[in-house]
Structure 1
Amino acid sequence: MNSSSTLHAGTPVPLKADAGIIGLVGIAHLASHFSQLLLAPLFPWLKDEFSVSYAELGLLMTIFFVVSCAVQALSGFVVDRMGPRPVLFAGLALLGVAALGYSVSTSYWMLACFSALAGVGNGVFHPVDYTLLNRKVSAPRLGHAYSVHGITGSLGWALAPAMVVSLTLAFSWRVALGAAGALVFVVLAILLVYRDKLSLKAIQPVAGAVVESSLTFLKIPAVWMCFAFFFWYAIVLSVVQAFAPEAARQLHGVPLAMAAMCLTIYMVCSAGGMVLGGFLASDPARCERIVGTGFGIAAVMALLLALGSYPGWMVLVLFGAMGFASGIAGPSRDLLVKKSTPENASGRVYGAVYAGLDIGQAVSPLIFGLMMDHGQYRGVLLGLALMQGVLIASAFNVRRVRRTATVLAAPVA
């Protein structure tokens, strides 16, 4: 019996044990999301420094996420074979090196090379994180584990613009990115100190069991529906992170410093929404309805930003409301994948599904970056609302496909 089945079947696990693993995985996830958002808040400065367009800057994000996608799909197999701990340490080290590399870059192409290196580091986190959570956290606390995981990711996204913009204004963008690299190495040091808590043996085949191909999970339709869901989710996320604050600034005349706050407020409020979402996710049967409601409210906020005219403080409120609604959907979003994951294939399934996240974040900057370069600021926000609407339909499609598969697999009386 593996650790996952033990947790689901057996004796109660002490809160301290669960909290320890949730906390360590959480700070690693924070570092991953923090590293994803180091360059986007600095686009106004980098645009002038390297004499490039928004589309070219968006290409840096595309490079990052294309590489991350490839690594993520492959790293799931490595995690299932070797265990998650060494893969996690390698990923953090690469993110730290890449951030320091950004800080000393003297050309656009140096930034592009370090974006690729950061993509390699970023690609390991979802297969690692969900393998650790699913196999080491007791079943009654799994919804809360997903909530904390999402919260720390949102806090990482919130910390990045707050930190790098503040340090850029006070010193320079190079100092800001150097400090960001140092912070990633601090997180790595903490995890090394508590490395015993992250120990998890690779899954060994049970004697006498039928050995299935490691690619069998790819035949499950719900896995591909989850992939599609995360593709659309990534487009929403990319627009919010890279372009929506600047689009709102242009439409509503918001000062530059306040526009930078939009993303931080969105992410902080998203973290708050995930606290509530963790309790709502305690009943997996309603996860699709929670996802639909959350992103429905978020879409309304995006439409208001696109179609109205507001003072700066109201723009911040709308970003906060959009973030809170999206955050409520977060833990239930992760349960969509959990409910579609075969036993002992966490690394592979999460690697494949979250590859959709990277592909969406690779595609989105190219499309919306061009819209920004052509001054289509209202169109960017309308596009954001449209993608949030597609997300709702996609979540219910996951449920439909999963239920159809269950009916087809049921024995005939």
Structure 2
Amino acid sequence: MTSATLNAAVRIHPVPLKQDAAIIGLVGLAHGTSHFSHLLLAPLFPVFMRDFGLSFSDVGLLMSIFFVISGSGQAMAGFVVDRLGARPVLFSAVGLFLLAALAASQATGYGGLVLVAILAGLGNAPFHPADFTILNQRVSAARLGHAFSAHGLTGNLGWALAPVFLVGITALADWRVAYYAAALLYAGVLGLLYWQRDKLRTEVAVRHADAPKGAELAYLKLPVVWWCFAFFLLSTMTLAVVQSFAPSILKAVHGVSMEAATFTISAYMLCGAVGMLVGGFVAAYGQSLRWSSDRVVAVSMSIGALLLLLCATGWLGAVGTMVALAATGFAVGVGGPSRDMMIKKATPKGATGRVYGTVYSGLDVGFAISPLVFGGFMDRGWYALTLAGAALVLAISVYAAVGVGRRTN
């Protein structure tokens, strides 16, 4: 059956909602597992510092190792996804998380924690190319906006679950027990994905014998790919500032307690999840009205940048600043599904894994360099300038989004 015949059949026999929902749910579960693994070590840093005599620099390096491996591996993983299909790569990734949790449960020093960071980074690397290859191939076009919305939402929920899960079990039992429980969680997810494996099958990119040498790398010559990469790098730098420094800024500038400041970050993430849910309807509705996805992204990110800039002024006071930060999460979240639609439009046929792998590696790069850049501001006590800088970077990401739109519309 040719692709044209298949497409015609899909139009005559629309994909049932139940089938799309099952695929979206499975991919969302896997993505939540990925974000859970971002924080496989960080919530228990104080415990490791106490038990193993580590410094802040020591534990901070663990996160750098994770994101460097994840970022560099993500682009390469895209080629593997296109060659072998997304399903076996996704299974391998969750399996690496399982091994990372078991390694954490047996750690006796810093070397063991480094091994955990390496395994988790390798596991995290393939997720975006694998996830988006499955969604783009298996979910009907009319529901892709909702699919991308659910994908982003489950990622935020994974971030929210990890500290509660790991710290909670550690408080009740022991941190090694917490990692055994995490290993069981990964095993359960892997078992469910394997059981429903027929819903995760994807077509591989066909390699033609007469294809010119280096054809698989031809997408790297497309300027739009690098505009997408720049957008992810810049917008993620802002998220990293909020996650890393907002509690300290609120405490230093407004005298907010650490508990309240930390709650603000949770509120930011939860509002971001709600924003992504709303953004799925915006993306789907925008398609029917022919709104360009890059403009939806530009508007949402512009509102987020303005809110951050308002926070930097200090005019809102403690409570107003915390509310505005949470609202920033919602504004940025609304643009999430349209952002993924924007990248889909920029992706050449047969190169989904490679493009998403390259573009999303910008996320890891942003997470890696942002604390280095803005950490210097914080060391000098430039708290307002740190938030203003985050707002500026987010505003520049709007320019990148518009640049993508100019090359795809």
Structure-1-length-normalised TM-score:
0.87
Q: Give the secondary structure class of the aligned counterpart of 1:117.
A: helix
> In 2 relative to 1, CA 106–314 (structure 1 residues): closer, same or farther, beyond 3 Å?
farther
Give unmatched runs, 5+ long, in structure 1: 404-413
- Distance in 2 (CA, whole Å) between partners of 1:4 and 1:356 is 37
1:387 paired to 2:393: yes
**% of aligned pairs identical?**
48
1:247 paired to 2:249: yes
> In 2 relative to 1, CA 122–221 (structure 1 residues): closer, same or farther, beyond 3 Å?
same
Structure-2-length-normalised TM-score:
0.88
Counterparts of 1:248-267 in structure 2 under 5 Å? 248-267=250-269
Aligned to 2:234: 232
Describe the superposition over 1:208-244 as per-residue Cα deviations: whole angstroms up to 9, x where unpaired.
Answer: 9999811121121101111111111221222233332
Report the alpha carbon displacement of residue 179 of structure 1 after superposing the two structures with TM: 3.4
Counterparts of 1:87-106 in structure 2 under 5 Å? 87-106=89-108
Aligned to 2:30: 28
The Cα RMSD (Å) is 3.0
Deviates more, 1:204-213 or 1:62-71: 204-213
Counterparts of 1:104-183 in structure 2 under 5 Å? 104-168=106-170, 173-183=175-185
1:215 paired to 2:223: no
Q: Give the secondary structure class of the aligned counterpart of 1:214.
A: helix
Report the alpha carbon displacement of residue 286 of structure 1 after superposing the two structures with TM: 2.5
Deviates more, 1:136-145 or 1:393-402: 393-402
Q: Which amino acid aligns with 1:269?
A: C
Report the alpha carbon displacement of residue 118 of structure 1 after superposing the two structures with TM: 0.8
> In 2 relative to 1, CA 366–49 (structure 1 residues): closer, same or farther, beyond 3 Å?
farther
User: What is the number of residues matched between the two proteins?
Assistant: 403
Contact in 1 for aligned 2:149/2:276 (Cα 8 Å): yes
Contact in 2 for aligned 1:232/1:391 (Cα 8 Å): yes
1:352 paired to 2:358: yes
> In 2 relative to 1, CA 107–208 (structure 1 residues): closer, same or farther, beyond 3 Å?
closer
- Distance in 2 (CA, whole Å) between partners of 1:4 and 1:100 is 48
Q: Give the secondary structure class of the aligned counterpart of 2:97.
A: helix
- Distance in 1 (CA, whole Å) between partners of 2:93 and 2:366 is 21
Report the alpha carbon displacement of residue 46 of structure 1 after superposing the two structures with TM: 4.8
Aligned to 2:65: 63
270, 273, 278: which one aligns with 2:272: 270
Q: Which amino acid aligns with 2:361?
A: A
Aligned to 2:329: 323
Contact in 2 for aligned 1:55/1:365 (Cα 8 Å): no
Aligned to 1:298: 304
Report the alpha carbon displacement of residue 171 of structure 1 after superposing the two structures with TM: 5.2
Contact in 1 for aligned 2:230/2:397 (Cα 8 Å): no
Report the alpha carbon displacement of residue 71 of structure 1 after superposing the two structures with TM: 1.5
339, 342, 346: which one aligns with 1:336: 342
Report the alpha carbon displacement of residue 50 of structure 1 after superposing the two structures with TM: 5.1
- Distance in 2 (CA, whole Å) between partners of 1:312 and 1:44 is 27
Q: Which amino acid aligns with 1:6?
A: N
1:400 paired to 2:406: yes
> In 2 relative to 1, CA 58–37 (structure 1 residues): closer, same or farther, beyond 3 Å?
same
Contact in 2 for aligned 1:21/1:133 (Cα 8 Å): yes
- Distance in 2 (CA, whole Å) between partners of 1:359 and 1:7 is 41
- Distance in 1 (CA, whole Å) between partners of 2:316 and 2:174 is 32
Report the alpha carbon displacement of residue 60 of structure 1 after superposing the two structures with TM: 2.0
Report the alpha carbon displacement of residue 354 of structure 1 after superposing the two structures with TM: 1.1
1:190 paired to 2:192: yes
Q: Which amino acid aligns with 1:130?
A: F
- Distance in 1 (CA, whole Å) between partners of 2:140 and 2:211 is 25
Q: Which amino acid aligns with 1:22?
A: I
Give unmatched runs, 5+ long, in structure 2: none
Contact in 1 for aligned 2:205/2:351 (Cα 8 Å): no
- Distance in 2 (CA, whole Å) between partners of 1:3 and 1:82 is 23
Contact in 1 for aligned 2:133/2:202 (Cα 8 Å): no
Report the alpha carbon displacement of residue 48 of structure 1 after superposing the two structures with TM: 5.2
Describe the superposition over 1:148-195 as per-residue Cα deviations: whole angstroms up to 9, x where unpaired.
Answer: 111111111222233334445555555544433432332222212212
> In 2 relative to 1, CA 51–373 (structure 1 residues): closer, same or farther, beyond 3 Å?
farther
